[in-house]
Amino acid sequence: MSPAPHTGTPQALKPASQHYENFPVASLLCPPRLRPAITAIYWFARTADDIADEGDARPAQRLQDLAVIREDLFAAAEGQPGSGRWPEVFGALQPVIAQFDLPVALLADLLSAFEQDVVKQRYATEAELLGYCRRSANPVGRLLLHLYGVHDADSLAQSDHICSALQLINFWQDLSVDIPRGRIYIPRELWSAYGVDEVQLMARDVNPATTKLIAACARTARASMLKGAELPAAVAHRLGGFDGWRAGLELRCVIQGGLRILDKIEAMDHRTLAQRPKLGVWDAVVIFSKALWR
């Protein structure tokens, strides 16, 4: 993102291939009738996230732009024109909101998390961090379930576990990227319990204490992911037929993608303070094979 607002098409923004993702967005496995809606939601979130994170704009400007995109979101929900600053984003999102009766509050929660990223760089407790995940990640899963017509409490809870796990995995994967930006997502109560201080983290000091700390973080993320393991079957049953099979398979790929990152973190002895693990072609084969087998 540059200090100037995005005004082009989604393709004119930073493309998805340049935003490293752990899993595909609106892939071939997704039911075709839902791909435009999922893509519209993704580009809305991606655009707002870039406003919060990319480029060299000052915090006040980022917050101002996020306030405008929030106003545009509520205008779109009412079928009204907005500021016109992101025409392709809202040109795609507005009919999706109307067609699927999207819960706009979930989209607003995403904006709240992006606003928090602008002003908050430390977390005191795990509960505080999970509160951030509730707004930064969980709405994405709930929006997807809404598109699938899945609304039962058990499925929503499983989705929240998966999405919070994905957010946490992204944090532990990206320590070598986030910390130089001044952001420490590991809760203070946790790194204090392992005898790690802020100086060590800011220096990205790889030592027995920091690796044990990151290993504990990874275990928590894995446990959260596994709590959502039954969701693909529920979605497949709800949709039924080939669409259900494909949707279930894609969700299993999402789960396996997160678990694969955790496997790679473990394989490098949890040294993500120094190095960022990535998924390659062979990892994609492993993820798909495990998802298909299950």
Whether pLDDT at 26 is above 80 = no
Same domain, 283 and 174: yes
Burial 44-81 (b: 16+ CB within 10 A, else e): bbbbbbbbbeeeebeeebbbebbebbbebbeebbeeee
pLDDT band at 103 (very low <50, low <70, confident <90, very high): very high
At residue 241, the pLDDT reads 92
Is 16 part of any domain? no
Reported as a single tens digit per residue, the pLDDT across 55-65 is 889 999 999 99
Same domain, 148 and 254: yes
CB atoms within 10 A of CB 32: 10
Residue type at 131 in one-letter notation:
G
How far apart CA 186 and CA 126 sit, in angstroms, is: 8
At residue 13, the pLDDT reads 33
Mean pLDDT of all residues belonging to the chain: 89
Tell me the two tokens of residue 112. 């709240």
* Arithmetic mean of pLDDT, 274-279: 93
* Arithmetic mean of pLDDT, 18-32: 57
At residue 57, the pLDDT reads 92
Domain that holds residue 257: 122-294
**Domain finish residue from 93, 119, 145:** 119
Place of tokens 């929030």: 70
At residue 25, the pLDDT reads 53
How far apart CA 55 and CA 181 sit, in angstroms, is: 12
- Residue scoring higher pLDDT (204 or 29): 204
Is 137 part of any domain? yes
Q: What is the pTM of this model?
A: 0.89
- Whole-angstrom CA distances from 174 to 3, 64, 92, 260, 267 are 24, 27, 31, 15, 16
Same domain, 208 and 113: no
Tell me the two tokens of residue 76. 């779109």
Same domain, 130 and 213: yes
- Residue scoring higher pLDDT (13 or 80): 80
How far apart CA 251 and CA 46 sit, in angstroms, is: 20
Is 25 part of any domain? no
Same domain, 109 and 237: no
Same domain, 73 and 97: yes
Whether pLDDT at 17 is above 60 = no
At residue 18, the pLDDT reads 39
Whether pLDDT at 244 is above 50 = yes
Q: How many domains in the chain?
A: 2
* Arithmetic mean of pLDDT, 156-176: 97
Same domain, 73 and 141: no
**Domain finish residue from 119, 143, 178:** 119
128, 185 contact by CB (below 8 A): no
- Whole-angstrom CA distances from 131 to 9, 134, 136 are 32, 5, 9
Reported as a single tens digit per residue, the pLDDT across 147-165 is 999 999 999 999 999 999 9
Whether pLDDT at 16 is above 60 = no
Is 258 part of any domain? yes
At residue 48, the pLDDT reads 96
pLDDT band at 27 (very low <50, low <70, confident <90, very high): low
How far apart CA 102 and CA 144 sit, in angstroms, is: 10
At residue 31, the pLDDT reads 82
